[in-house]
Amino acid sequence: MNIEPQINVSELDANDHRRIGRRMDLFHQQDEGPGMVFWHPRGMALVRVIEDYIRTRMRRAGFAEIRTPQALSRRLWEQSGHWEKFGGNMFSFSAKDGGDDVAAEQRDISASERRMYALKPMSCPGHIQIFNAALYSYRDLPVRFSEFGACHRNEPSGALSGLMRLRAFTQDDAHIFCREDQAVEEIAKFCRMLRAVYADFGFDQVKVAFSTRPPVRAGDDTTWDRAEAILENAAKSIGLSYKLQPGEGAFYGPKLEFVLTDNRGREWQCGTVQLDMVLPERLDVAYVTADGAKQRPVMVHHAVLGSIERFIAVLLEHYDGKLPLWLAPDQIVVASITDAQNDYAKHCVSELQAAGFRAVAALGSERIGRKVAEARANGVSVVFAVGAREENEKTISMTYGKKASVVLPLAYAMVMLRGEAFK
């Protein structure tokens, strides 16, 4: 087994997320899974914190969480246009069983076509299938779906770079199906939410780019004129200033791209909002109007973070591993000064965990200074030291970052930290 293929982590910049991830025991990569991630327990804790935060935000915004298959028929990807655009970077395979042969013959589908599948590079067509599985009326719109979609893209090996560029990643895909007259407000609401989310993660500098129709695209110019006008009106309705990027839109519609600036002045494109009038036509999406006719909805594609893995890389480098308390995989380490206080340290951990904190115990015979240093290396900023006095008085000695230690009752310490520990 060759961990970190072709890379000596110790030779990387100290601020590189791969080096930070190794130091904090978050994840590793190896030759047996190029462009993929082995998440360790502490790394998975960070993934879950971020997903749960986004999940809560989306639920409050009216999105219903769904899950779609990782592999779908190649014919669906051809129908949507993704195969023509991205087929060279999609993992495809032939299934042994083609499914319902009678139904396939009725649709004039060949045996070879029935067996061809592809791993999804994004979740849009899958979300459309869920919308199409019901019959919605104009009163039901907007319909909002969100998913943490497991996506695969066959990126060139030379382009792979830690968590920044992967072949297997999780994308926070979301889609809104709405009437055309609802699109401006739906887009504006999502853009306002993005600002709040990025501020919570510590990114106050956010730039926006408006990407218009590319040279090679689906849909006619009239459709693109309408789509670009709606997206521009939505941006202007909330005073969003943007840089124009002619020709950089998706093949199915224009988009707004949100670019974050980290603590080192580097820019990272993360969130996107795309206005789509093409896929609803290609995949026969419709709702019932007031007079009983069928009408195509507008489809709005959203991503708050984009790739979760890439966003974690940005976070690790932005904070140099010293994540805010609410994001830290382990929020509090309870360190016993001697073995005699191990039971009290475990008791404190139990109390903290019952209150929702991510707390672990540092036991054993190592000196307290060593335990604190190890906690700091793992990105833990809060350490509760417990010795004989703390055990007798039912208190803890708390150090938080570079602040001087203070002795507090455990319950009071939890009250002090709650505001910073949870979002």
Q: Which residues are catalytic?
A: 124, 153, 171, 173, 175, 255, 301
Distance separating alpha carbons of residues 159 and 157, to the nearest angstrom: 5
Using CA atoms, how far residue 392 sits from 15, 341, 369, 387, 409, in Å, is: 42, 10, 22, 9, 11
Instruction: Identify whether the C-beta of residue 203 lies closer than 8 Å to the C-beta of residue 261.
Output: yes
Helices (H), 261-363: 279-282, 308-319, 342-354
Q: Give the gyration radius of the chain's Cα atoms.
A: 25
- In order of 81, 281, 362, the CA distances from 85 in angstroms are 6, 17, 52
Are the C-beta atoms of residues 127 and 66 closer than 8 Å to each other?
yes
Close Cβ partners of 235 (under 8 Å, ≥ 6 residues apart): 187, 191, 208, 210, 242, 256
> Are 31 and 2 contacting, i.e. CB atoms less than 8 angstroms apart?
yes
Residue 207 burial (10 A CB sphere; 0-12, 13-18, 19+) = middle
